[in-house]
Structure 1
């Protein structure tokens, strides 16, 4: 009988690992082609992993709550063919068979770990390891563990990763921490046996900020409090937000727009629009249309940073932050938004919002965003300072639309009138976007909304 390797699928451009939520099949169970074998989660969406062959599930290599790198073999299926095969046409990452261990900084599931062989862990000279010059990718989970355990970037870069393309996994760094505590691993390694206390200024700058907490002293709270453990999605969101602030130097610019024409036009056409198109028209597609027009004028806003290279995206994929019933947040993506008219944008916005609220988003629905819009006005806020959705370089927030008396310039002089006013704010990555570009782009969006044609067709 042949053995088919079931690997952790790639879920998006920036996703390098996933957490196993639930195994729907046990060893010995028969599986059909495309039948769901397990449920997984990333920091963006939950998904199901189908079987890539028909046969019998012979082996499960990871347990529930394990964090597994993309491309790693997670299970094996025996089929009726005569040789062993892998599900991926490309060379799959080697099976990560690692020992189970615990750390006070990570709460592990109490379920027994699978019986797997021990992998060898060691530190290596940074000059001999590809990508150890600081450009390696580290997941938010690995960075958080490093911060909590006081592992410097120099040490982190010297840990030999067993993940895909040599990436450091959660098990790698926890193994290193345990070995360092027991004296089996040095606290720091380098090309020469210099004393640890004589670190260079460069190394000191690369140290991860740490708030040391004694593991033996439990946290105490005064007064009448309730302790609520964060759910999995909230923890992932928290990791994503912290990583973004650590990655990008945030700058936020503000402006306001007179959106009276836009409000009056929507009020005029919304009933006919819903009757004719079968969907409601909200303000979101109107905002997205204005953003797309301005991105065409300022393409650098639609980019990302890869080392020392600026990657300007030709596709305009707009993410829209959507609140879930649980209070968490997710960002569905409208792909090729510049190719959709107002009707197409309205239908796509509503369908993605409904899918998000009903937990029916697919991995491709939240992948490959190039710019994000968040509507803080939905909850009554006048303005906000949003956090950039990595690896993008900018995010725009729109506030609540309020009627206010404002001064209007007319050919006959200034006058005061009641207008529909809205604040806009945009946070951007100062490594790529300077204040002049950020403010110019934001003002351009405000002008698009302010000069909305009230007589236009949809």
Structure 2
């Protein structure tokens, strides 16, 4: 369970603070209230947890920022609350905690958090480019991750229609500075309704679906994480035209190098040498060669990312999936990559990831080879534009060129399945990138990494 420290907003009187939903990762824009650990009127000590929240990435406990009283709860269990929106009124006795002590108009809540705001569990203190100022019960922020403004009317319609931030970011705007107008949104909704199949399944209960079950069948409700995964996968397929290119790589020399060096590597680092850091290394090098793979799409704009942050799809014991991110992968040595990946995977499988561990990914790798799969067609994690599935390494007969001519020999081969967003990545770029990854794996710089 991750602990996040609250951001604070001045509110109403000099003895009252409006507690806001804290920021929990760059791409997390909302959280669901799971449980209030305290009730109205309770006296609470500083850093004592007062509620639990869940995002699509991690669950967190929210601690009290100061000693005081929980005067009023503003949101109830089950509500989805946007980052920055007030969730409770907190009363403190020491008015000096409010900063400069100036009186505040009852009609305003300041949009800036106190400078003391800091995560207990994470050292991430990166500045936010655009202040996300929200109103209670509003799921759509004033600005999206690219800084595009949404008017109150547009936000109201978006909330009413249950549009996600990812959907909003992909709606082309015809207003000033690419803003989404009311007509833009209504046009999108009309198209959305016409392309979605009508279904009443979302309103079904366990009792009502008994008619679909046969004797001996077990009815299993989706948990919260599985529902979110399902929604995002459907949204991705609805928004992005997926295309997949396949390349076969001869990794015979890579396999031999790993076998030769894995014992010394473990003695040096304390962890085993898997193929994953080698895959990440090759992908990072390929991105440097083809930087237009390392982009995001927001509406009709392409954001070319400077940082190369590679996400790794990790299967969890409960059957769900999470994608921790290796930050600045191109700047890490093979040993540093292996240590970083080992820690991320361990924390993922033990529920110990921090919000920052799953934020800011620019490209994703899915190691389907760990399940003995040869190839696949993975779904892109929006707003990224590509994902690579690495297949199982198998021994196969292959024709190779030698000084004596062509010979058939046993080689270690694997398939790379590269899925990309055809809106911005053409077949040439998508295919060349996959081939570049294969080339780096086949011609790995062993001298540099030994």
Q: Which TM-score band (shorter chain)? A: 0.7 to 0.9
Gaps of 5+ in 2: 1-13, 96-102, 115-130, 140-149, 165-169, 174-178
8 Å contact kept, 2:298–2:383 = no
**Residues 73 and 96 of structure 1 are in contact (CA less than 8 Å); yes or no, is this contact kept in structure 2?**
no
Shift of 1:448: 0.5
> Which residue is 1:178 aligned to?
none
Contact 1:18 / 1:67 at 8 angstroms: preserved in 2? yes
Equivalent residue in structure 2 for 1:295, among 273, 287, 301: 287
Q: Deviations over 1:366-425 (max 9, x none)?
A: 000000011001111111110001110000000111111111111221101111111110
Output one character per residue of 1:262-281: Cα deviation in whole Å (capped at 9) or x when no partner: 11111111111111111222
Matched, 1:447 2:439: yes
Residues 203 and 335 of structure 1: is their aligned pair in 2 closer, same or farther, counting only changes over 3 Å? same
Aligned 1:401-420 pairs, distance under 5 A: 401-420=393-412
> Take 1:438 and 1:6, find their aligned partners in 2: how far apart are those partners?
46
Whether the 8 Å CA contact 2:26–2:356 is kept in 1: the answer is no
Query: TM-score, normalised on structure 1?
Result: 0.75
Q: CA deviation at 1:357?
A: 0.7
Mapped to 2, the partners of 1:136 and 1:25 lie a distance apart of: 31
1:307 matched to 2:299: yes
Give the drift of 1:204. Answer: 4.8
Q: Does 1:15 align with 2:28?
A: yes
**TM-score, normalised relative to structure 2:** 0.77
Deviations 1:212-244 (A, max 9, x none): 439699442153321100111111111111111
- 1:226 aligned to which of 218, 226, 251: 218
**Separation in 2 of the partners of 1:131 and 1:295?**
39
Q: Distance in 2 between matches of 1:132 and 1:437?
A: 40
Counterparts of 1:238-317 in structure 2, within 5 Å, are 238-317=230-309
Tell me the alpha carbon deviations over residues 124-169 of structure 1, each in whole angstroms, 9 at most, x when there is no partner: xxxxx84989x9996899249xxxxxxxx99xx9xxxxxxxx99xx
Q: Indicate which of 78, 89, 99 corresponds to 2:91.
A: 78
Q: Are residue 209 (structure 1) and residue 201 (structure 2) matched?
A: no
Aligned equivalent of 2:386, options 377, 383, 394:
394
| 3-state SS, counterpart of residue 246 of structure 2 | strand
Q: Specify every segment of 5 or more residues in structure 1 that has no aligned partner in the other structure, as ranges.
A: 99-128, 145-152, 158-165, 168-188, 192-198
Cα 1:379–1:202, aligned 2, differ >3 Å: closer, same or farther?
A: closer
Which residue does 1:328 correspond to in 2?
320
Tell me which residue corresponds to 2:65: 52
* TM alignment of 1:330-345, pairs within 5 A: 330-345=322-337
- Provide the C-alpha distance between the structure 2 equivalents of 1:56 and 1:256, rounded to a whole number of angstroms: 63
Shifted more, 53-62 versus 330-339: the winner is 53-62
Change (3 A) 1:239 1:80: same
1:88 and 1:435 map into 2 onto residues whose CA distance is 46
The C-alpha deviation readout for 1:254-300, integer Å capped at 9, x for no partner, is 11101111111111111111111112221110000000001001101
- Distance in 1 of aligned mates of 2:338 and 2:132: 42
Moved more, 204-213 or 348-357: 204-213
